[in-house]
Structure 1
Amino acid sequence: MKILQKKITPSNKSFSVYKNTKPYLDESWHLHQELELIYIIEGTGTCFIGDNVHEFASGELALIGSNMPHLWRNSEDYHKNINLKAEVIVLHFTEDFLGKEFFEKNEMVLIKNLISRANNGIAFLDDKLKAYVSSELERLIPLTGFKSIQCMLNILDALASTKDVKEFASNGYTEKVYVKDSQRLEKVYQYVLTNLSREIHLDEVAEIAHLGVSPFCRFFKKRMHKTFSQFLNEVRVGYACKLLIENKLSISEVTYSCGYNSQTNFNRQFKKIKGINPKAYQKMYLDN
């Protein structure tokens, strides 16, 4: 699948914010350097973010990280019914829109973590938060100068302070993981990515973490809320999704590139995690 590299039109601000009303959203599969915060005022349809596919509706609030492929597309009803409309507010900004060192300050740690987590794409679920952010985005549109920066930081602070979120793309797709306060887990994750195309044994991963096998299993499940085996399959399937979307390898080649020695096992794990088989998943993306 071809991904369009978009350039966000520069404005006289350090960021871009606008409201868009049109008969329907029908974007191409694209990415851009800027992070994207989008609020769906009105509209329903299908959203693709990385290897995630979901139905969106009015009231959805999402933050999409830098260079994460995505598209928003309204259902066919919007193309046929002139009484329907799509309305969104979109905010684009780069990670360093206030300078390269601004978010390195201790006071900015929550927002810095938010930007890191956005690599996978984040959906915000709290209704009170969504109501606050949507009104602040409306207020932000005409603001200039210091007040615009102040409003922007208020929005980011509110987003960074909530825990009621879910991630869109899987870690295997993004090749990045947000692991708070754990160099040990970071080393394990990088080891998994480096060796994804071959069989990975539990004892070698435990050694990377400088733990015995049983202590490592307990440590990993406590921190990640899943077993290492579950995590490994999620990463493998996430990477498989990326390869399937790119459509450069056959499904058989994807299977072995992701470390599975059996097509049957690959299909079973893929369907368990994604809900459909690899061929149907690839067709869904290519058709859109």
Structure 2
Amino acid sequence: MKPIYAKPPWGSRAAFQVRKDYFDVLDTKWHYHSEYELAFIRYPYGKRIAGKSICTFENSDLVFYGPNIPHAWSHEQFLGKSEVQKHNAGLSNYAIVVHFSESCFGESFFSIPEMNAIQAVLTKSSRGLVVQGTSKAKIADWMEQMVANTGSKRVVLLLQILEELAVAKELSLLSSAGYWDNLNDHDAIRMSSIYEYLIRNFTKDIALDEIAEQAHMSPSAFCRYFKARTKRTLKEFVNELRVNCACQLLEENRNSITQICFEVGFNNISNFNRRFKEVRGITPQQYRINIIGIHNKNSV
């Protein structure tokens, strides 16, 4: 399955789009688009891929994406775990999605002084934002209200949501800055194909010849092209994917560090420790200790 450019189906006069989709099994195409997206997913257990971030979630997920961040959700369990059961509880699983452009209320609306805080969160969304805590509950409720209402009430609710995002304390950045910056349409399609291949194969040994073939390029031309677009070598990029995946597994705290090392694609623990520290600045053991400390503090 290739990632696709997904153009939201706009209404004839609507400034932005809101929809609620019910489903049995969570499985969206890996895609990107030029609009902002606010998505609330209600599902027992799933996996989210956004940029170079690969994370699992339980019960629900609320994410705010800036333009051109490739993303998808899946019902599959995380690496090394068995697949979840299919759920069918009277259409209890659903997604509420809001798409809007920066000019939806006029070309300069978000540039006026009163919108400075909201403009800041729009800029942050270029890396993707996960919303947690009380802000998540408020925004999910307002999104439900957006589905139930029409007209000016929807406009008020969207601005209310953006204002809440601007002051929310429990926001997490998902991906590296500028992942898709300055790509033309042809580049975006080609990089989507490359990225899809990497997402599906980063835990394995990736042969340069094979991935270059995905991009219809020679190996040497591919290396130059990839470095120019990502500012990283293929090896550095793959190591980042592996380390980001390892962080999720370390946070789950179900497997040993050695098990995680091999699960994400490193072939020995010393290399894993070295690459992890290059990306995160600390060792996997220190990362796990820090996460446990944060969890213990929050549970007090």
| TM-score with structure 2 setting the length | 0.60
Q: Secondary structure at the match of 2:59?
A: coil
Partner of 1:3: 3
Q: Secondary structure at the match of 1:53?
A: strand
Question: Alpha carbon RMSD of aligned pairs, Å?
Answer: 3.5
Partner of 1:129: 135
Partner of 2:123: 116
TM-aligned CA deviation for residue 58 of structure 1: 2.0
Task: Confirm or deny: 8 A CA contact 1:43 1:87 kept in the other structure.
Answer: no
TM-aligned CA deviation for residue 158 of structure 1: 0.6
TM-aligned CA deviation for residue 88 of structure 1: 1.9
Confirm or deny that 1:144 pairs with 2:150.
yes
Identity %: 26
What CA distance in whole angstroms lies between the structure 1 residues aligned with 2:25 and 2:197? 30
Confirm or deny that 1:101 pairs with 2:108.
yes
TM-aligned CA deviation for residue 119 of structure 1: 0.9
Number of residue pairs matched by the alignment: 213
TM-aligned CA deviation for residue 15 of structure 1: 1.1
C-alpha spacing 1:242/1:41, structure 2 compared with 1 (3 Å): closer
Partner of 1:164: 170
Cα deviation per residue 1:98-154 (whole Å; 9 max; x = unaligned)?
A: 1110001000011111111111110012x2111111111111113222222111111
Partner of 2:51: 50
Gaps of 5+ in 2: 77-82, 183-193, 200-210, 247-260, 267-300
What pairs up with 1:194-233 in 2 under 5 angstroms?
A: none
C-alpha spacing 1:119/1:13, structure 2 compared with 1 (3 Å): same
Gaps of 5+ in 1: 177-239, 282-288
What CA distance in whole angstroms lies between the structure 1 residues aligned with 2:6 and 2:238? 34
Task: Confirm or deny: 8 A CA contact 1:51 1:241 kept in the other structure.
Answer: no
Query: 4+ runs of 1 displaced by more than 6 Å?
Result: 240-243, 265-270
Partner of 1:77: 84
What CA distance in whole angstroms lies between the structure 2 residues aligned with 1:267 and 1:40? 28
Amino acid across the alignment from 1:169: S
C-alpha spacing 1:174/1:274, structure 2 compared with 1 (3 Å): farther
Amino acid across the alignment from 2:54: V
C-alpha spacing 1:77/1:272, structure 2 compared with 1 (3 Å): closer
What CA distance in whole angstroms lies between the structure 1 residues aligned with 2:241 and 2:142? 40
What CA distance in whole angstroms lies between the structure 2 residues aligned with 1:141 and 1:269? 38
TM-aligned CA deviation for residue 78 of structure 1: 4.5
Q: Secondary structure at the match of 1:57?
A: strand
Amino acid across the alignment from 2:42: I
What CA distance in whole angstroms lies between the structure 2 residues aligned with 1:268 and 1:26? 26
Partner of 1:63: 64
C-alpha spacing 1:74/1:270, structure 2 compared with 1 (3 Å): closer
Q: Secondary structure at the match of 2:125?
A: helix
Partner of 1:235: none
C-alpha spacing 1:172/1:243, structure 2 compared with 1 (3 Å): farther
TM-aligned CA deviation for residue 266 of structure 1: 8.2
TM-aligned CA deviation for residue 40 of structure 1: 2.1
TM-aligned CA deviation for residue 268 of structure 1: 6.9
What CA distance in whole angstroms lies between the structure 2 residues aligned with 1:103 and 1:71? 28
Amino acid across the alignment from 2:47: T
Partner of 1:233: none
